Amino acid sequence: MRQIVLARPDDWHIHLRDGDALATTVPHCARYLGRGLVMPNLQPPVTRVELALAYRDRILRHVPDGSAFTPLMTLYLTDDTPADEVRRAADSEHVMAFKLYPAGATTNSAAGIHGIEALYPIFEVMEREGVVLSIHGEVTDRDCDIFDRERVFIDRHLEEIVKRFPSLRVVLEHITTADAVEFVRAASHHVAATITAHHLVLNRNDMLVGGIRPHHYCLPVPKRERHREALVEAACSGEPRFFFGSDSAPHGRSRKEAACGCAGVYTAHALVEICATAFAHRGALKRLNDFCSGFGADFYGLPRTTETVTLVEEPWTVPEDFPFTGDRLVPFHAGQEMAWRVHDA
């Protein structure tokens, strides 16, 4: 039975939601995470530092006694974000980044951005203040095929952003393509990417073959197998610019198993276990610590966690579902056996 000790992992992109949902999501990740960078796409969105601090307090109320879990916050960038808010974010020890959602790109993105060029003055302030710009990198044009949306966003917007603002720290979130891997690799050290657990193990066949599998539907959508392989290669490469951000995104069963089901895969119950499966398959377990517990903190300029968790090769079965705001929440790999398990002691 193999066993690995990891520094307590950090998740640099997680959706915890709000209200009753926190009773499910927070204890799940507090079991083994050191820090979680919490996404701001609530309704209404978290657009101001003071809203983020109030949200942080609501999250903290659900952290079980004895857990070291610390939420870090993001702000939702809108067409009207004032430069002063960027300065306030830079001054806050709890707010780490602004999140850019192109309007209409994903869950609760209606308040997002309509014209990226109009934000250049704000990017300039972020660059000067050292505030990270976290990007959902997909175009939303109706005539752009959904499988091409990430690549087109890079060509149309990201190349230009990093050229104009060479010191702006940018995270391209939840990358899904070999094109994104290539772009990030070629960019300066101010540019990084998060990779999710589920995109390390899913390709588009897993979502569409043998019937539509709503619990595998997320945005950006999983791509061809060659793209999944490129993500695994990048995650296991030991390059500091690729680090873990789960995009764990809970939605009640009734909203997933619907005629128009919403996007999101829930992985917070087993983040490290899913990553371990992908790394072990590639014989790269020795690289897991840097990916899950090191490179993200380095990029955000925070110390690495000193507490540890132990990952043990020990079979267990994922529950079929969890209670969730009066509905049920179907986790990734529901009812399936997994080979690795994290012990938090």
Told to check if 136 binds ligand DOR by CB under 6 A, we report yes
Q: Identify what 175 binds: ligand DOR, Zn ion, none; CB under 5 to 8 Å per kind.
A: none
Is residue 206 part of the annotated active site? The answer reads no
Count Cβ atoms below 10 Å from residue 192 Cβ, excluding itself.
26
Counting contacts by CB under 6 A, is residue 15 touching ligand DOR?
yes
Cα distances (Å, whole numbers) of residue 126 to 52, 86, 306: 18, 6, 30
Kindly tell me which residue out of 113, 219, 285, 342 binds ligand DOR, with binding defined by CB under 6 A.
219
CA distance 340 to 315: 6
* Residue 282 in tokens: 């590639």
Nearest Cα residue to 151 out of 169, 176, 117, 120: 176
Is residue 194 part of the contact set for ligand DOR (CB under 6 A)? no
Supply the minimum distance, in Å, between the C-beta of residue 118 and Zn ion.
23
Query: Token digits for 113?
Result: 């951005």
Minimum separation from the CB atom of position 105 to ligand DOR (A): 7
Torsion angles phi and psi, residue 6, rounded to 5? -120, 150
To Zn ion, the closest distance from the beta carbon of 47 in angstroms equals 16
Residues binding ligand DOR: what is the number (CB under 6 A)? 11
* Closest distance of CB 109 from ligand DOR, Å: 8
Q: Which does 329 bind (CB under 5 to 8 A by kind): Zn ion, ligand DOR, none?
A: none
**Is 31 a binder of ligand DOR (CB under 6 A)?**
no
CB nearer Zn ion, residue 292 or residue 311: 292
Is 264 a residue that touches ligand DOR (CB under 6 A)? yes
Which of these is catalytic: 148, 247, 327, 344? 247
Query: With binding defined as CB under 6 A, does residue 263 bind ligand DOR?
Result: yes
Tokens 């950090």 correspond to what residue? 10
Q: Does 269 bind ligand DOR (CB under 6 A)?
A: no
Closest among 180, 184, 186 to 170, alpha carbons compared: 184
Ranges of H-type helices in the chain: 22-30, 49-60, 83-91, 120-129, 149-153, 159-164, 178-186, 198-201, 204-208, 225-235, 253-256, 271-281, 288-293, 295-300
Residues at the interface with Zn ion (CB under 5 A)? 39, 247
Give the x-and-dash track for 69-108 against ligand DOR (CB under 6 A).
-------------------------------------xx-
* Spatial contact of 248 and 265, defined as CB atoms under 8 Å apart: yes
Local structure of residue 25 (DSSP, 8 states): H
Q: How far is the CB of 60 from ligand DOR (least distance, A)?
A: 21
Q: Which does residue 8 bind out of Zn ion, ligand DOR, none, counting CB within 5 to 8 angstroms by kind?
A: none
Question: Which residue, among 137, 204, 126, has the nearest Cα to 168 in the 3D structure?
Answer: 126
Q: What residues are annotated to the active site?
A: 247
Binding site for ligand DOR (CB under 6 A): 15, 41, 106-107, 136, 218-219, 247, 249, 263-264
